[in-house]
Amino acid sequence: MGGGGGDKFSVLLPTYNERENLPLVVWLLARTFRESGNNFEIIIIDDGSPDGTQEIAKQLEKIYGSDKILLRPRPRKLGLGTAYIHGMKHATGNFIVIMDADLSHHVSLYFICCQKEGNFDIVSGTRYKGNGGVYGWDLKRKLISRGANFITQVLLRPGASDLTGSFRLYRKEVLQKLMEKCVSKGYVFQMEMIVRARQLGYTIGEVPISFVDRVYGESKLGGNEIVSFLKGLLTLFATT
């Protein structure tokens, strides 16, 4: 994909204990954007990681420049939705990319290509279409993910195949509008964003992605998150 004209892409990267992963994901992002000629910035929203993630981020600021790497920390874990709101306050791009910092998402220009070709408001990565898939998960996690997605499809008919993924590209003004509407926290937040987008008539494109389980650190998905997801799903169903 060639240069994106006057477009600028702001990547919002929430982190918590991602000391090992952060340098590599930043390198991959910077290489991808520079090779394609697209203007970018990476906003690291660290929630008080005790493992030294912020020190790594400060070193990356010096290496890549403070115009490309912006560390915008918070004192403690305050939720994914509020992390994006916090990051957007500092974003200067007209497009926002949200993704995980744990190397489970492989940086891809297909998102930008898809947006340009379809002029979509949102481009969402999907593990459940085309050559998308999940690697490194045990059967239990695969069943939980598939089950959650299936239940969501049946109840909410969202018009997108992957509701719980967290690799997406938004027009900035669209993301701001969705943030105003969303009330969920945690894993339900990603699902609600797509449901609200459908309600507001925004267009959604999908790109198959390969999701690879985190290389370093521990997964943050546990029993409490599953219970919260189901509660949030029922709340969404009742209000749509």
pLDDT at 186 > cutoff 90:
no
Q: For 177, left (φ over 0), alpha (ψ -120 to 50), or beta?
A: alpha
* Residues 9, 168: Cα–Cα separation, whole Å: 12
Is 95 or 188 the better-scoring residue by pLDDT?
95
The answer to whether residues 33 and 118 touch, using CB atoms and an 8 Å cutoff, is no
Mean pLDDT of the region 184-192: 75
Out of 3.40.640.10, 3.40.50.300, 3.90.550.10, 1.25.40.10, the CATH code matching 8-239 is 3.90.550.10
Return mean pLDDT, the chain. Answer: 82
Instruction: Please state, in angstroms and as integers, the Cα–Cα distance from residue 32 to each residue in 29, 53, 109, 185, 194, following that order.
Output: 5, 23, 7, 31, 26
Q: For 131-182, how does the pLDDT look when each residue is reduced to its tens digit (9 = 90+)?
A: 666 566 677 766 777 777 777 777 776 677 777 777 899 999 999 999 888 8
Q: Which of 17-31, 57-71, 174-188, 224-238 has the lowest mean pLDDT?
A: 224-238
pLDDT of residue 80: 79
Q: Which two tokens stand for residue 193?
A: 């964003």
Q: For 212, left (φ over 0), alpha (ψ -120 to 50), or beta?
A: beta
Q: For 17-57, how does the pLDDT look when each residue is reduced to its tens digit (9 = 90+)?
A: 999 999 999 999 999 899 889 999 999 999 999 999 999 99
